[in-house]
Structure 1
Amino acid sequence: MSDSNIATAQKVAGAPTIVVSAKPVVLSAPGRGENLQVRVSAPMTGGDLPVIVFSHGYGWSMNGYAPLADFWAAHGFVVLQPTHLDSRTLGLPAEDPRTPRIWRFRIEDLKRVLDGLDALEGSLPGLSGRLDRGRIAVAGHSWGAQTASTLLGARVLDSDGAPGEDMSDPRVKAGVLLAITGLGDDLTPFAAENLPFLKPSFDNMTPPALIVAGDHDQSALSTRGPDWFTDSYTYSPGRKSLLTLFGAEHSLGGIPGYEVAETTDESPARVALIQQLTSAFLRSALYPEDTGWQAAATALEEVPNPLGKLQSK
């Protein structure tokens, strides 16, 4: 990381604490075909801890995204990471009858995590009684970002183009959407035929959210360029911010992990910026009196050669 970006990080970061984790914590999931496995990570100390429920990208699991989960937990969040049915660790074949509905199972997974907070809290020694259940956020990457967005009010359009079922959750107060897929008007023929759930409406996505996109993220699912990943910012109402990362591809520098196949644009400096800004944004969204987000935004503007640009509305 350059000296200027180290300075940016120092302006918005507090001193981290020791993180403890438990996995797999198993939640009963009738009708799913597999019980839901969750990783729970939390700081060793502190009370009234806000919660982040994180939805992984296609094929990943609760074991991924350590650069984000560990950072957030070290900076005062309880991070809950379910393993969705599309995970390579479960190995569901394409012909499995659940495959066409995996996008719905994903949403149900996040809600099941929220319903299971008592069990999840009790899985980690010393965590009981330390969660602030009034300060819950969702986050996700790629397909996980689309999954998380539905709890914020995004809807999947039905076959006649009307907004489908409202699957939002009032327990969720804010979100971070990393490389979230855009509108369905610009899908490739393959995606339009095989991934009908990639047709969202963001008209009702009202809670505060930070959208993070890479300006070199060219999806094989869209006929558009990298700006496809900014649609949730452009078309949603309410308080939103957009962080556009220069030179970033779909892994945004390595948020799934370093030295893995999905990370084609490895950049620890870029990941560090995402860590700092997402943490600052969520604290501001969950604690209105917190000024860390304003400080982070100002610090980014003052960097001579920034890694990205920030917009808000």
Structure 2
Amino acid sequence: MLPAPHHDGGLRVRVTAPVSGRDLPIVLLAHGFGSSLEGYGPLADHWAAHGFVVVQPTHLDSRTLGLAADDPSRPRTWRFRVEDMRLVLDHLDVLEAAVPGLRGRLDPGRIAVAGHSFGGQTAGMLLGLRVGDPETGVAEDLSDPRIRAGVLLATAGSGGDSLTPYAAENLPWLRHPDFTRMTAPALVVAGDKDELPMTVRGAAWTTDPYTLSPGDKSLLTLLGAQHFLGGISGYEASETTDENPARVALVQHVTTTYLRHALGLGSAGWAAARTELIESTHPLGCLESKGAPGTLS
């Protein structure tokens, strides 16, 4: 638990870490709407097994917290999510001391952020995505220089005419995103069958964080994948409509090699994955990149 002004009783945080090793890189993982620190085991466990310390806060929109529909905090949950992540970064020493055997083993110079769905927007804002505040109209810079790269999984695209009337009225944080400021390196993961009720553009909407942002970006498109990308949200998650262990394994592999590459821990695995997914026909997905010197596209 970390003290947080907008969380009664504190911010609940889960830490998943390797049992050995030093100078361990860190991944902040933002859950999707309604989920919690209990979700995304297939990602958190895999990343930890490959040398990352994964930190998962439970955001205010989690069903486990039971926030009332008329709670005055609800319209600001999109902003409080970013504050949760900053709070984690500000208290890495506290988390390190709280986990037996972890003290002195973190590398605070190698931090990435990842998020699924609503969590993808949270991650994007920490990488430079600007979201127009529904109350003030101001699109503030909420990026954090401590974060070097990110992974955005099945997350929201552009606003305006791309939104359904329901989304435009009830999800105001989707109305005016500005991806042109999201300059930090990122891997975007999208399913080509991810038909969401928030957009009129179909699955292509979730590729906007790649196509509309500048800089070093890569896009992994999963063939036949719906919103939970084969089952990344949990081992027995009932909301997974396209259960596919091989698809989840591909997400695990590509995101792990990307995180190692982006945090300066070695690029051989990422180069091999790029060759496999760009230069050949893969039955589960394809990869494209832009912005980095010498990359394939």
Q: Is the counterpart of residue 79 in structure 1 residue 54 in structure 2? A: yes
- Determine if contact 2:276/2:282 at 8 Å carries over to the other structure: no
Paired with 1:160 and 1:98, the residues of 2 have a C-alpha distance of 13
Report deviation, 1:304. Answer: 5.2
The alignment partner of 1:181 has SS state of coil
Aligned pairs for 1:52-63 within 5 A: 52-63=27-38
Aligned pairs for 1:250-289 within 5 A: 250-287=227-264, 289=266
Aligned counterpart for 2:268 among listed residues 264, 272, 291: 291
Paired with 2:34 and 2:86, the residues of 1 have a C-alpha distance of 20
Q: Deviations over 1:230-279 (max 9, x none)?
A: 00100101000000000000000000013322200000000000000001
- Determine if contact 1:136/1:173 at 8 Å carries over to the other structure: yes
- Determine if contact 2:148/2:263 at 8 Å carries over to the other structure: yes
The alignment partner of 1:177 has SS state of strand
The alignment partner of 2:207 has SS state of helix
| Residue identity opposite 1:264 in structure 2 | T
Report deviation, 1:162. Answer: 7.2
- Determine if contact 1:155/1:163 at 8 Å carries over to the other structure: no
Paired with 1:264 and 1:289, the residues of 2 have a C-alpha distance of 35
Q: Is the counterpart of residue 224 in structure 1 residue 201 in structure 2? A: yes
Q: Is the counterpart of residue 200 in structure 1 residue 162 in structure 2? A: no
- Determine if contact 2:185/2:217 at 8 Å carries over to the other structure: yes
Question: Alpha carbons of 1:161 and 1:99: their partners in 2 closer, same or farther (altered >3 Å)?
Answer: closer
How many residue pairs are counted as aligned between the two chains?
A: 288
Aligned counterpart for 2:80 among listed residues 101, 105, 111: 105
Report deviation, 1:217. Answer: 0.3
Report deviation, 1:221. Answer: 0.6
Aligned to 1:191: 167
The alignment partner of 1:80 has SS state of strand
Aligned counterpart for 1:126 among listed residues 92, 101, 105: 101
* Identity among equivalent pairs (%): 62
Q: Is the counterpart of residue 69 in structure 1 residue 44 in structure 2? A: yes
Paired with 2:62 and 2:134, the residues of 1 have a C-alpha distance of 27
Q: Is the counterpart of residue 174 in structure 1 residue 183 in structure 2? A: no
Unmatched tracts of structure 2, length 5 or more? 291-297
Q: Deviations over 1:158-186 (max 9, x none)?
A: 56997600000000000000001000121
The alignment partner of 2:180 has SS state of coil
Aligned to 1:117: 92
| Residue identity opposite 1:256 in structure 2 | S
- Determine if contact 1:67/1:256 at 8 Å carries over to the other structure: yes
Q: CA RMSD in A?
A: 1.7
Paired with 2:233 and 2:266, the residues of 1 have a C-alpha distance of 31
The alignment partner of 1:244 has SS state of strand
| Residue identity opposite 2:204 in structure 1 | D
Bigger relative CO (Cα 8 Å, ≥ 6 apart): 1
Aligned counterpart for 2:225 among listed residues 241, 244, 248: 248
Paired with 1:47 and 1:288, the residues of 2 have a C-alpha distance of 13
- Determine if contact 2:278/2:288 at 8 Å carries over to the other structure: no
Paired with 1:305 and 1:141, the residues of 2 have a C-alpha distance of 23
Q: Deviations over 1:43-98 (max 9, x none)?
A: 00111100000000011000000000000000000000000011111111111111
The alignment partner of 1:210 has SS state of strand
- Report which stretch shifted further, 188-197 or 247-256: 188-197
- Determine if contact 2:41/2:235 at 8 Å carries over to the other structure: no
Unmatched tracts of structure 1, length 5 or more? 1-25
Q: Deviations over 1:291-311 (max 9, x none)?
A: 221111113346654200000
Report deviation, 1:287. Answer: 0.4
Question: Alpha carbons of 1:122 and 1:221: their partners in 2 closer, same or farther (altered >3 Å)?
Answer: same
